[in-house]
A and B are shown apart, each in its own frame.
Chain A
């Protein structure tokens, strides 16, 4: 392993600009003559708009324009779309209500977009927005997930009179019923997977620009996938044809899913730039982010597990109601269906599974993918069920899992997925060892002496990353392909630019992708630069989400590098007067097999461009290749996390005392970066379990719309993490990578709740397990303890 190659913890190339304040985020972009946009948002969860009077606003100082939904409609700007078609179990297509970028006639959640003011300064735009008079006729709102399908509930969209977007199912109902019929024991649980707000630290922002000389638009935006944004803005929303629309996602300050989607504000800014003839800039404030960024999770689930008399799992039966909010966000429909239920088998060999999902509209912010997207929800179901089943049957939770693990691969589950490679037992044993599981009892007694309750919780998760192949996801309803692209440009002096359709917003691609190239071409890592996030530079790409950039994005680079090597061998052959069949390439040098004749990579690059050693008819000059990579399967990262908590029964405060994570991510390019991804994921998972929750009141007002109200995990709330790894290569991509971006967020919530319920003597507890909830549970459990 070289110091900068695959497997080395190379310090990040991108860090210098971030630690010196030289990063270029969207809000740092300023275009000459730019005006500022402020959005007037609905104060009501559900209302008809009777009239909008902007006269007073237009008369305010500095105001350039005020636009409403009518202006967008007059320009034939289409609504926002949902790009994944789901069919109900009766075959009916999902019911997608209209989603205009600015409201037309109705608002459907607090924060919905009513009008935009464009003014010389941001303060002027905000002042003027307050002067717009809107007459609303307030309508009853449906807010809670479990209320949406009740007869007589207020209707969010007329196309879905019962508020059901779809009623979907997967698995084999008959076989599952049969499994339950012969069960020796059935474990039943009811779960709420709490609604979260993704909260990347950089709020969303957009700068729209229009060049009348070229009749072309540029949108700078906080996007995880600028090419998909361009595709949607062009082909569906109708801003401009793709060759007249450039989307640039510069440095992006975290995404966690929430910056995948194509939102109203970005759409309005780029459209309005032409309308007002000036660049238009908008930056979300944090309250707007809480109100209008797509939220995550929000499931209500009943789940049952059938066991035989030896504690083997026979079947799984799940019913979930998933809240998709007031409108279908870009990929929302796929999250509680294909990104969720196919993972319900967890790491276990379960012969029969059946899952029904009812997706519902409510008068709340749209819900879409948030770190893990469906897989944390699935893992919460299976890992809570397994834990409760082990406790009910008197088994040790580790032994219960060990007994039911998938042990041979490939393993076909009853719910689509074919697990290709793994060693679940190895991860469990390593995690138990690292966590000193055998001495938990001793530590519990020690805590007890200090008046504290200690509990331990295991979570054995599996996820599916690098969603693909394209044809398969297309058959499941995806509106896009999920390949990735790469272009390798070798310059005449042997330095290399990699153009990738992946997008980095904290993942460190400028380093890890360069490590791959450095190793493969035998050139210094500083001779490699990574270009991403600009649709004028990178032709097409699918962006970064679902832990796909290593498994899919880097595989595309490998494929392009294969072509570079083949071409370079031909050039070297001419230079060394040998057949390219006899040329070997190693450590940056081309040699003629069995001789001492050699030429280095930089010299071959130069020869490729000056083209003096070969005839241009026999070999094209230049050294540049591109590739698209479409994987053959998902990848299946898996692992075991063990959480140990200490609870103060007097206050209900839960302290996470120990965290052990053992993950199998296949091959690892940069362990330092991978561990960082795991840390961050765990923090978000602990946040979901202990602290975070988006709360709407009965009228649909978001009660948790600031950092004063929504409890973000802070340094004091979190432990240091012990990270370990096991490794089985992923067989479905050339690098053997599985992906690591979401693991922690998927694994952590059930580990925490299993630990708390262990400490509480199996009293169930809802997420977030706030001190109040834990304290109440302690009170319930006290009589039980007293009776013992």
Chain B
């Protein structure tokens, strides 16, 4: 067993774990943060995307012990209390989800796309940037719409904060 300590959704957590524990297993099994999902075993589907030190990471393809001391945000930590993150709200408003299984990874990736590409996104950029996230229900049409709207709303918020 190996000791690991990191900050998850603002709380410091320390656990003794099997060194081969993947970050997603640590989040789901050790911390019971089951909002992060596992949809494949080859880093293709993106159901497991979380933010580590501000970057989007596929938590199924990284060992938990790699993130000693890191700041991790999962879908459970994205909303500000009862206030949904604008990207979460946009997915609901634009029907960007059906079964909901890929949704946490989609939303975490969408927030990361906005961080990297800005608030004014075109369809082509969004579709290209979703290369690592698979949805089987929506045909992506409404996910693309939701990310447009979520990105704009995030821009509005950051302008308001200025």
**A contact set with B: CB distance below 8 Å:** 11-12, 14-25, 27-28, 30, 121, 123, 199-203, 251-254, 256, 283, 285-287, 505-508, 672-673, 675-677, 679-684, 706-708, 712-716, 718, 720-721, 744
A19-B107 contact in complex given A254-B136, A715-B143, C-beta closer than 8 Å: yes
B115 interface residue (CB < 8 Å to A): no
Interface of A is mostly: loop
Instruction: Report the minimum CB–CB distance from A290 to chain B (whole Å).
Output: 10
A673 to B96, CA, bound (A): 10
Are A708 and B97 in contact (CB-based, < 8 A)? no
B99 interface residue (CB < 8 Å to A): yes
The listed residue with most A CB atoms (<10 A of its CB), out of B98, B104, B107, is: B98
Are A21 and B141 in contact (CB-based, < 8 A)? no
The 7 closest A-B pairs by CB, nearest first: A21-B35, A253-B101, A18-B100, A683-B139, A506-B99, A707-B44, A21-B75
Residues of B within 8 A of A28 (CB): 28, 34
Mark the stretch among B51-59, B61-69, B122-130, B151-159 that contacts chain A.
Answer: B122-130
A21-B136 contact in complex given A16-B92, A706-B42, C-beta closer than 8 Å: no
Are B98 and A680 in contact (CB-based, < 8 A)? yes
Instruction: Report the minimum CB–CB distance from B117 to chain A (whole Å).
Output: 14
**B contact set with A: CB distance below 8 Å:** 18, 20, 28, 32-42, 44-45, 47, 74-76, 78-79, 84, 88-89, 91-93, 95, 97-104, 107, 123, 126-128, 130-131, 133-144
Residues of A within 8 A of B101 (CB): 23, 25, 200-202, 253-254
Are A715 and B131 in contact (CB-based, < 8 A)? yes
In the complex, the chain A residue whose C-beta lies closest to that of B142 is: A676
A402 to B98, CA, bound (A): 35
A202-B98 contact in complex given A21-B74, A30-B32, A715-B130, C-beta closer than 8 Å: no
In the complex, the chain B residue whose C-beta lies closest to that of A198 is: B136
A464 to B91, CA, bound (A): 32
Residues of B within 8 A of A203 (CB): 38-39
Are B131 and A714 in contact (CB-based, < 8 A)? yes
A679-B76 contact in complex given A202-B101, A507-B98, A715-B130, C-beta closer than 8 Å: no
Are B100 and A682 in contact (CB-based, < 8 A)? no
Instruction: Report the minimum CB–CB distance from A677 to chain B (whole Å).
Output: 8
Instruction: Report the minimum CB–CB distance from B132 to chain A (whole Å).
Output: 9
- Contact partner, A14, options B32, B34, B100, B131, Cβ 8 Å: B100
Residues of B within 8 A of A23 (CB): 35, 100-101
Residues of A within 8 A of B78 (CB): 20
- Contact partner, B95, options A12, A201, A682, A706, Cβ 8 Å: A12
- Contact partner, B47, options A16, A18, A20, A201, Cβ 8 Å: A201
Instruction: Report the minimum CB–CB distance from A747 to chain B (whole Å).
Output: 13
* Given A203-B39, A285-B41, 20 new contacts (CB under 8 A): A12-B95, A15-B100, A19-B91, A19-B100, A20-B35, A27-B28, A27-B34, A202-B99, A672-B95, A673-B95, A680-B136, A683-B140, A684-B139, A706-B40, A707-B44, A714-B131, A714-B134, A715-B126, A721-B139, A744-B139
Are A18 and B131 in contact (CB-based, < 8 A)? no
In the complex, the chain B residue whose C-beta lies closest to that of A19 is: B88
Instruction: Report the minimum CB–CB distance from A656 to chain B (whole Å).
Output: 11
Instruction: Report the minimum CB–CB distance from A749 to chain B (whole Å).
Output: 14
- Contact partner, B141, options A121, A199, A721, Cβ 8 Å: A721
Residues of A within 8 A of B135 (CB): 201, 715
A673 to B144, CA, bound (A): 16
- Contact partner, A286, options B40, B89, B92, Cβ 8 Å: B40
A256-B42 contact in complex given A11-B93, A12-B95, A19-B103, C-beta closer than 8 Å: no
A30 to B39, CA, bound (A): 18
Residues of B within 8 A of A254 (CB): 98-99, 101, 136-137
Residues of B within 8 A of A715 (CB): 126-128, 130-131, 133, 135, 140, 143-144
- Contact partner, B91, options A15, A679, A721, Cβ 8 Å: A15
Are A707 and B45 in contact (CB-based, < 8 A)? yes
Are A707 and B107 in contact (CB-based, < 8 A)? no
In the complex, the chain B residue whose C-beta lies closest to that of A23 is: B100
Are B42 and A21 in contact (CB-based, < 8 A)? no
- Contact partner, A18, options B34, B42, B97, Cβ 8 Å: B97
Are B97 and A19 in contact (CB-based, < 8 A)? yes
Residues of B within 8 A of A123 (CB): 18, 20
Instruction: Report the minimum CB–CB distance from A118 to chain B (whole Å).
Output: 17
- Contact partner, B136, options A27, A251, A684, Cβ 8 Å: A684
In the complex, the chain A residue whose C-beta lies closest to that of B88 is: A19
A714 to B109, CA, bound (A): 14
- Contact partner, A716, options B40, B130, B143, Cβ 8 Å: B130
A12 to B41, CA, bound (A): 30
Instruction: Report the minimum CB–CB distance from B120 to chain A (whole Å).
Output: 18
Residues of B within 8 A of A720 (CB): 123, 141, 144
* A–B complex contacts, Cβ < 8 Å, 12 sampled: A20-B84, A21-B104, A27-B28, A201-B37, A286-B42, A506-B100, A679-B139, A679-B141, A714-B134, A716-B128, A716-B130, A720-B123
